[in-house]
């Protein structure tokens, strides 16, 4: 076991997969010589050469489309979005090609590619660099969407994403890169489509993902002291959602709170609530509550920024409220 920072866990995943499969390559802005803005590809350029760790010009839409063409013809590209927000410029190739092309081609082609990089609300990076794009992409058919949250799952999930024969949008959180954890010495992969039960409990189901998992964990400490026993589920897969795990938990707790960094309107939480109503309405003892970010461009000012995203105290209060409503 070795203590590993999350960004290094990702780096190990890429390194291991490039080592075992020589069709895997990385492309993006500053991934090569510079080693990536968050050092996820540090030194891989020296090890694998400039074609396998390809520094691209700043041309997001085109290098994304290029990865699609490479994937169609047998390579396994990993795109690093220097900041996932920049991939809004690549929306065309992601939606039209990466997502839909297998279908429109009637199964002629598969598109094994990973699009990964930092996203989420950082620390005073201002609105454009603090975006949560997962909801924008959830409506695109044919994409898998995964959000990692710990060094352990980051490594195992990224390896699985690289091996997957479909386009996977892989969200990392800019504030989690320096998270530390002991990782096993042996090789492991983590399935892309399974939610992770972070903490089993019986009183209420808390669904969360990415950085909010850690805010929830903090809130749970307070709740435990008050004798409340929540079940915490890290969704991991935002598309498809793992309703086996979610459903089993609802049948146990009959109460759901969603904690997300996503914007409220048209967010991941909105989709989950609609699906829970479709599937488990009869199991619910209370309406599903969602704690989401404010529907505003992330403000630069630190205090306002904090108010924009859900804080552990709010989570604690919301859970307490819900449990107090016990029938």
Partner 1 sequence: MVQERTLPQFHAPAAQIAPEEGLRLYEDMILGRFFEDKCAEMYYRGKMFGFVHLYNGQEAVSSGVIKSLRSDDYVCSTYRDHVHALSAGVPAKNVMAELFGKETGCSKGRGGSMHLFSSEHNMLGGFAFIGEGIPVALGAAFQSRYRRDALGDSNADQVTACFFGDGTSNNGQFFECLNMAALWKLPILFVVENNKWAIGMAHERATSQPEIYKKAAVFGMPGVEVDGMDVMAVREVAQQAVARARAGEGPTLIEALTYRFRGHSLADPDELRSKAEKEAWLARDPIKRFEGYLLEQNLADEGTLKEVRDRIQTRIDDALTFAEESPEPSPDDLYKYIFADE
Of 108-116, 200-208, 226-234, 246-254, the segment contacting partner 1 by CB under 8 A is 108-116
Among 6, 9, 40, 68, binds partner 1 (CB under 8 A): 68
Q: Which two structure tokens, joined as six digits, stand for 224? A: 């435990």
Q: Can you tell me the distance from the alpha carbon of 238 to that of 145, in angstroms, rounded to the nearest whole number?
A: 5
Instruction: Say whether residue 237 binds partner 1 (CB under 8 A).
Output: no
For partner 1 (CB under 8 A), the number of binding residues is: 47
Residue 61 near partner 1 by CB under 8 A: yes
SS3 call for 252: helix
Q: Which is nearer to partner 1, 32 or 122 (CB)?
A: 32
According to the binding rule CB under 8 A, does residue 51 interact with partner 1?
yes
- Cα(295)–Cα(307) distance, rounded to whole angstroms? 11
What own/partner pairs with CB < 8 Å and gap ≥ 24 does 294-301 have? 294/263, 294/264, 295/263, 295/264, 295/265, 297/127, 297/128, 298/121, 298/125, 298/126, 298/127, 298/130, 298/131, 299/127, 300/124, 300/126, 300/127, 301/124
Using the contact rule CB under 8 A, the part of the chain among 61-69, 118-126, 220-228, 241-249 near partner 1 is 61-69
The answer to whether 81 contacts partner 1 (rule: CB under 8 A) is no
User: How would you classify residue 187: left for phi > 0, otherwise alpha for psi between -120 and 50, otherwise beta?
Assistant: beta
**What are the backbone dihedrals phi and psi of residue 231, each rounded to the nearest 5 degrees, phi first?**
-95, 125
Catalytic residue, from 12, 60, 80, 134: name it.
Answer: 60
Asked if 124 interacts with partner 1 (CB under 8 A), we say no
Q: Quick one: 42 exposed, middle or buried, by C-beta within 10 A (0-12, 13-18, 19+)?
A: middle
The answer to whether 71 and 111 are in contact (CB under 8 A) is yes
User: Which residue in 2, 3, 20, 22 binds partner 1 (CB under 8 A)?
Assistant: 22
173 carries an active-site annotation: no
Sheet containing strand 168-173, edge to edge, reads 53-55, 24-28, 76-80, 114-119, 168-173, 144-147, 237-239
Q: Cβ of residue 169: shortest distance to partner 1, in angstroms?
A: 14
Judged by beta carbon, residue 21 or residue 128, the one nearer partner 1 is 21
60 is catalytic: yes
Shortest separation between residue 135's beta carbon and partner 1, angstroms: 20
- The answer to whether 46 contacts partner 1 (rule: CB under 8 A) is no
Per CB under 8 A, the segment of 136-144, 153-161, 172-180, 200-208 that binds partner 1 is 136-144
Contact between 92 and partner 1 by CB under 8 A: the answer reads: yes
Q: Contact residues for partner 1 (CB under 8 A)?
A: 22-23, 25, 49, 51-52, 56-57, 59, 61-75, 77, 92-93, 96-97, 101-112, 141-142, 144, 164-166
Residues noted as catalytic: 60, 129
């Amino acid at each position: 076991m070795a203590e590993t920072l999350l960004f290094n866990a990702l780096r190990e995943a890429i390194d291991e997969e490039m080592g075992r499969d020589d069709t895997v390559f990385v492309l993006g802005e500053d991934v090569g010589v510079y080693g990536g803005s968050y050092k996820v590809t540090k030194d891989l350029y020296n090890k694998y050469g400039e074609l396998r760790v390809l520094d691209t010009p700043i041309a997001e839409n085109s290098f994304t489309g290029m990865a699609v063409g490479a994937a169609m013809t047998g390579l396994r590209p990993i795109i690093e979005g220097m900041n996932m927000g920049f991939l809004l410029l690549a929306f065309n190739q992601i939606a039209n090609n990466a997502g839909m092309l297998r279908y429109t081609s009637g199964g002629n082609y598969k598109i094994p590619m990973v699009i990964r990089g930092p996203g989420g609300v950082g620390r005073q990076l201002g609105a454009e660099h603090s975006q949560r794009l997962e909801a924008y992409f959830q409506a695109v058919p044919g994409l898998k969407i995964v959000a990692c949250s710990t060094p352990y799952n980051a490594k195992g999930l990224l390896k699985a994403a690289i091996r997957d024969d479909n386009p996977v949008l892989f969200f990392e959180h800019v504030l989690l890169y320096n998270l530390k954890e002991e990782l096993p010495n042996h090789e492991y992969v983590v399935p892309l489509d399974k939610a992770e039960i972070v903490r089993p409990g019986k009183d209420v189901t808390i669904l969360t993902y990415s950085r909010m998992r850690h805010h929830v964990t903090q809130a749970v400490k307070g709740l435990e002291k008050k004798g409340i026993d929540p079940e915490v589920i890290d969704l991991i897969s935002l598309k498809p959602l793992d309703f086996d795990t979610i459903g089993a938990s609802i049948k146990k707790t009959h109460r759901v709170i969603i904690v997300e960094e996503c914007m409220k309107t048209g967010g991941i939480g909105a989709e989950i609530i609609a699906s829970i109503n479709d599937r488990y309405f009869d199991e619910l003892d209370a309406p599903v509550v969602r704690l989401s970010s404010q529907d505003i461009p992330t403000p630069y000012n630190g205090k306002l920024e904090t108010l924009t995203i859900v804080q552990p105290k709010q989570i604690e209060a919301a859970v307490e409220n819900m449990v107090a409503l016990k029938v």
